[in-house]
Amino acid sequence: MDHHCIWVNNCIGALNQKFFLLFLLYTALSSIIALVILMHNFVMIYEVKDKNYNFIGAVLVSLVAFESIIFVIFTGDFLIEQLESIKDNQTCVESYQYKRGLPKPFEVNFRCVFGNDFRFWLLPVGSDARVDWEEEIIMERSVSERMKDL
């Protein structure tokens, strides 16, 4: 298990990490598209001559734009964090326990999550990747052990 996500009300692990990453990617991209549309609407509001409509419209567009910015920041951060965990071959739980899988190139770890056929990487379908449940786990030195070396 990587972690429990309250957004999807499920635990994220080896068998559904691809779907979680795609969820984060789709949400971030949708929020960016919404921001572009909102910027266009914001410009259009100022072209309207009715001052009451102008103010109300500007407030509403600003609130939704703020919400979109928050979604881009949070989903982007979570997406980067998940890609780093793929790069490091380490789950969130393993990072707290100072453990990790064997070091492998990013492409190998990426294919373990998304599968070998690149045509399906961005589609929410199961991958052909097989999980190595018996992969060796490496213990990292704890922070206190690292501090002793200083």
Q: Is residue 112 part of a domain?
A: yes
Q: Is 11 tagged catalytic? A: no
Is 81 domain-assigned?
yes
In a domain, 14, yes or no: no
The answer to the question of residue 128 being in a domain is: no
Give domain status of residue 5, yes or no.
no
- The total number of structural domains that make up the chain: 1
Is 7 a domain residue? no
DSSP designation for 125: S
In a domain, 98, yes or no: yes
Res. 149: pLDDT tops 80 = no
User: Which residues constitute the domain of residue 102?
Assistant: 20-122+136-148
Reported confidence tier of residue 52, pLDDT bands at 50, 70, 90: low
Phi and psi, residue 132, nearest 5° = -90, 95
Q: Has residue 82 been placed in a domain?
A: yes
Confidence of residue 36 (pLDDT cuts 50, 70, 90): very high
pLDDT given for residue 147 in this prediction: 59
Selecting among 5, 11, 92, 112, the annotated active-site residue is 5
Output 95-103 pairs: Cβ under 8 A, ≥24 positions apart: 98/139, 98/140, 98/141, 98/142, 99/137, 99/138, 99/139, 99/140, 100/137, 100/138, 100/140, 101/135, 101/136, 101/137, 101/138, 102/135, 102/136, 102/138
- What counts of helices (H) and strands (E) characterise the chain? 5, 4
